[in-house]
C-alpha cells in the first residue's frame, strides 16, 4: 500500500499568537514504512501542525457509496500532548481515508491562561477543525466518543454526534438531543436542532446492530501505532 505523509502548519488567529503560540513537540526524522512528501518539508513552526496519512486506496470508491462516515477521536500522550485522528469510511466500515495530527503540547503559560477551557479548545476547535478541513474524502457526518469534540460542530459545517458513554455521561449544563444509531446512543449538539433529521436518516441506512464504536477503536490504535513510528 502506498502511503504518504504531508506536513502542514498554521498559526493561531489570535493577535497574541507570537507570545503564546503552541509549538510542535516532535522532530520527525526518517519514518519507516512511509514516504515523506517531496513537495513539503517538516519544519518547526508556531501553534499548529498537522500530519495526514492518506491510504493508497482509490478514493473513487467514495463516489460510489452514498454515505460516508467520519470517526473522530483523540488521545493524550504523556509528556507529548494531545493527538487526534479522523477516519472516513463507507457505510460498511471500509476505510476511505485517515488523517491524524502531530501531538500538540501547551506550555505552562498556556495552561494557566486557558485554565479549564484548554482541553475543550484543543479537541473541540483546534485539532478537530484542522482534520475536517484537510481530509480529502469529506464525510457526511462526524461521530466521536470525546465529549469535548462535540463542540467541533460550532466550527465545521458537518453534523456531529457524541457517543453516550461514561465520559460523555459526565454532567453537562446543556440540554442535549439524543438518538440511537445502530447499537449505540449518541448526543447531538443542542444548538443545531436540524442535525437530528440528518442522523435519523443515517440511523435508517445503517443496520440496527451496527457497532459505531469499533471504528473509533481503530482510530485510537492507528494513532498509537503512528506515534510509535514517529518517536
Residue 95 CA to residue 133 CA, distance in Å, equals 18
Supply 23's cell numbers. Answer: 509549538
Supply 157's cell numbers. Answer: 459545517
Length in residues, the chain: 231
Residue 135 CA to residue 70 CA, distance in Å, equals 10
- Which residues, 6+ apart, have CB-to-CB distance to 208 below 8 Å? 182, 183
DSSP of 69-106:
EEEEEEEEETTTEEEEEEEEEETT--EEEEEEPPPEE-
pLDDT at 178: 83
pLDDT at 229: 83
Residue 35 CA to residue 140 CA, distance in Å, equals 29
Exposure string for 141-163, b = 16+ CB within 10 A, e = fewer:
bbbbbbbbbbbbbeebebbbbbb
- 100: β partners: 51, 85
pLDDT in tens for each of the 231 residues of the chain?
333 333 332 333 322 232 234 333 322 222 222 223 322 322 222 223 334 433 333 343 434 448 999 999 999 999 899 999 999 999 999 999 999 999 999 999 999 999 999 999 999 999 999 999 999 999 999 999 999 999 999 999 999 999 996 444 444 444 567 899 999 999 999 999 999 999 999 999 999 999 999 999 999 999 999 998 876
Residue 6 CA to residue 49 CA, distance in Å, equals 10
Residue 10 CA to residue 76 CA, distance in Å, equals 21
Residue 187 CA to residue 228 CA, distance in Å, equals 33
CB atoms within 10 A of CB 99: 22
pLDDT at 168: 47
Residue 127 CA to residue 103 CA, distance in Å, equals 10
pLDDT at 69: 98
pLDDT at 21: 40
Amino acid at each position: 500500500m502506498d502511503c504518504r505523509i504531508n506536513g502542514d502548519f498554521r498559526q493561531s488567529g489570535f493577535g497574541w499568537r507570537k507570545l503564546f503560540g503552541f509549538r510542535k513537540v516532535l522532530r520527525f526524522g526518517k519514518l519507516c514504512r512511509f514516504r515523506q512528501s517531496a513537495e513539503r518539508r517538516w519544519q518547526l513552526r508556531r501553534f499548529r501542525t498537522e500530519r495526514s496519512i492518506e491510504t493508497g486506496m482509490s478514493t473513487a470508491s467514495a463516489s460510489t457509496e452514498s454515505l460516508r462516515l467520519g470517526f473522530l477521536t483523540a488521545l493524550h500522550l504523556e509528556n507529548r500532548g494531545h493527538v487526534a485522528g479522523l477516519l472516513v469510511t463507507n457505510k460498511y466500515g471500509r476505510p476511505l481515508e485517515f488523517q491524524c495530527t502531530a501531538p500538540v503540547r501547551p506550555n505552562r503559560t498556556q495552561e494557566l491562561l486557558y485554565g479549564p477551557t484548554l482541553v475543550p479548545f484543543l479537541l473541540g476547535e483546534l485539532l478537530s477543525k484542522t482534520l475536517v478541513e484537510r481530509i480529502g474524502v469529506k464525510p457526511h457526518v462526524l461521530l466521536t466518543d470525546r465529549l469535548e469534540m462535540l463542540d467541533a460542530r460550532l466550527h465545521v459545517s458537518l453534523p456531529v454526534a457524541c457517543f453516550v458513554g461514561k465520559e460523555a455521561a459526565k454532567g453537562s449544563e446543556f440540554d442535549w438531543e439524543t438518538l440511537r444509531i445502530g447499537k449505540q446512543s449518541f448526543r447531538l449538539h443542542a444548538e443545531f436542532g436540524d442535525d437530528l433529521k440528518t442522523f435519523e436518516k443515517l440511523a435508517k441506512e445503517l443496520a440496527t446492530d451496527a457497532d459505531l464504536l469499533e471504528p473509533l477503536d481503530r482510530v485510537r490504535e492507528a494513532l498509537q501505532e503512528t506515534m510509535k513510528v514517529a518517536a
